[in-house]
Amino acid sequence: MARHASIVMLKLLLLLFFFQSSISEIIFEERFEDGWQGRWVKSDWKRADGKAGEFKHATGKWFGDPDDKGIQTSGDAKHFAITAKIPEFTNKNRTLVLQYSIRFEQDIECGGGYIKLLSGFVNQKKFGGDTPYSLMFGPDICGTQTKNLHVILSYQGQNYPIKKELECETDKLTHFYTFILRPDASYSILIDNRERDSGSMYTDWDILPPRKIRDVKAKKPADWDDREYIEDPNAKKPEGYDSIPKEIPDPQAKEPDNWDEEEDGIWKAPKIPNPKYKGPWKPKKIKNPNYKGKWKIPYIDNPEFEDDPDLYVLKPIKYVGIEIWQVKAGSVFDNVLISDDPEYAKQVVDEVLANREVEKEAFEEAEKVRKAREEEEAQRAREEGERRRRERGYDRRYRHKEHYRDRYKRHPRDYMDDYHDEL
């Protein structure tokens, strides 16, 4: 009886373990509603020399939901740094999901829009560009050529950027960026719930030496036949093929009526290409029955490779932070999520982007107003320029007339002087 009870208890414990391990967890979620200032700490980094910008609580210029606010960068050519402390989280044996949204309302010219996960103790008031991080993820734009999507992982104190060239979105609408890292070291990158890229930490970061390397000593076997097609050995040249002339007399040509054989010689029809001539004879090509494919240098195990089953494991995460520099401010950060549940992350994206059409309409209306204002300002500038040109032209004409009049006008006293001189 006691043995039976022990077995039942063991089964219950196992069920409880598997049930708990299957429960997803939201480690941190920030929608920047009222009270967000109590969760985030603004850094004093760059403040003493006047280079620190401010995050303001705002919806931005256009939006899908008037009640949905984020934090927006303000102050051009500034550094921005802010962090929030989160419940300590380790991704060992768990999936890590980092997701957030950003809207570049400004013509950013050059600046970042990425987010960081931080480990260990961080002095939040001194958080800045030199603060170590475990993961950096998000857009970095500079000019029309640089549209990077950074994914930088820290391993044993060193930062490793992804080797792929990934591009971010550059329009002025809200976009969600999602990074998923799994216990098998595979990853996925999503933008607006669409997978932009995927792969493995083993191959897409230069963290560990590759598992396999090319065998530089390998040589193609002497009997390796890499000819896909060969000449048909059974083909035979047709009889008389070599006697077919390249050109033949034109059968349509006629001797001219005024041709004189005594003076012009015997008339011969001009030559034309012979349609029966096919060029030098070549046997036809057939599939090579001994074809083995193109020979490739084989891969062998890399003797320098030493696996790390915890390659994907980041140091325990304690903070999430934004640390960027922007030439022009105006980016709206929102919907920060740290979780182990990709499905919940997708639900958040679908929920927010359900208002995408409303946001597009608001953006298009704002663009119309902006363009109309710019045209109005340009028209005023043209009118002001024309007014100044007219004034300058009038002044020149007026000054010319005055100069002419002063030059030839004589004072009455001048005539009296002439009279006295003559006397």
317, 406: one domain: no
Pairing label, strands 186-191, 78-89: unpaired
Is 140 annotated for ligand binding?
yes
Phi, psi of 187 (to 5 degrees): -145, 160
199, 122: one domain: yes
pLDDT at 338: 98
Helix (H, G, I), strand (E, B) or coil at 74: strand
Place of tokens 């509603």: 33
User: Domain boundary residue among 322, 354, 386?
Assistant: 354
* CA pair distance 181, 139, nearest whole angstrom: 18
Buried b (16+ CB within 10 A) or exposed e, 24-52: eeebbebebeeebeeebbbbebbeeeeeb
405, 346: one domain: no
Buried b (16+ CB within 10 A) or exposed e, 57-93: ebbbbbbbeeebbbbbbbbeebbbbbbbbbeebebee
Phi, psi of 370 (to 5 degrees): -65, -45
Is position 418 within any domain? yes
109, 41: one domain: yes
Cα 165–Cα 168–Cα 170 angle in degrees, nearest 5: 135
328, 387: one domain: no
Residues of the chain with pLDDT under 50: 8, 10, 13-22, 415-416, 419-420, 422-423
329, 395: one domain: no
Is position 320 within any domain? yes
* CA pair distance 397, 3, nearest whole angstrom: 118
397, 348: one domain: no
pLDDT at 375: 85
315, 414: one domain: no
Contact 181, 152 (CB under 8 A): no
Tokens of 194: 């669409």
pLDDT at 395: 61
Is 100 annotated for ligand binding?
no
Is position 258 within any domain? no
* CA pair distance 113, 165, nearest whole angstrom: 17
Is position 187 within any domain? yes
Is 116 annotated for ligand binding?
yes
Is 133 annotated for ligand binding?
yes
pLDDT at 91: 97
User: Domain boundary residue among 354, 385, 412?
Assistant: 354
Q: Residue 131: which domain range?
A: 23-209+311-354
Neighbours of 391 (CB within 10 A): 10
Domain count, the chain: 2
DSSP single-letter state for residue 52: B
408, 315: one domain: no
329, 412: one domain: no
408, 319: one domain: no
pLDDT in tens, 91-109: 999 999 999 999 999 988 8
Is position 156 within any domain? yes
Tokens of 22: 């299957």
Contact 173, 360 (CB under 8 A): yes
Nearest partner of 81 among 115, 35, 32, judged by Cα:
115
pLDDT in tens, 167-220: 999 999 999 999 999 999 999 999 999 999 999 999 999 999 999 999 999 999
pLDDT at 17: 43
Nearest partner of 73 among 310, 326, 299, 400, judged by Cα:
326
pLDDT at 369: 87
381, 350: one domain: no
pLDDT at 243: 87
* CA pair distance 416, 423, nearest whole angstrom: 11
Is position 234 within any domain? no
Is position 160 within any domain? yes
pLDDT at 108: 86
CATH number of the domain bearing residue 349: 2.60.120.200
Tokens of 201: 């930490």
Pairing label, strands 317-326, 78-89: antiparallel
DSSP per residue, 194-263:
EEEEEEEHHHHSSSS--SEEE-TT----TT----SEEE-TT--PPTTGGGS-SEEE-TT----TT--HHH
Tokens of 323: 């640390």
Is 319 annotated for ligand binding?
no
Is position 403 within any domain? yes
User: Domain boundary residue among 321, 354, 387?
Assistant: 354
Contact 84, 39 (CB under 8 A): yes
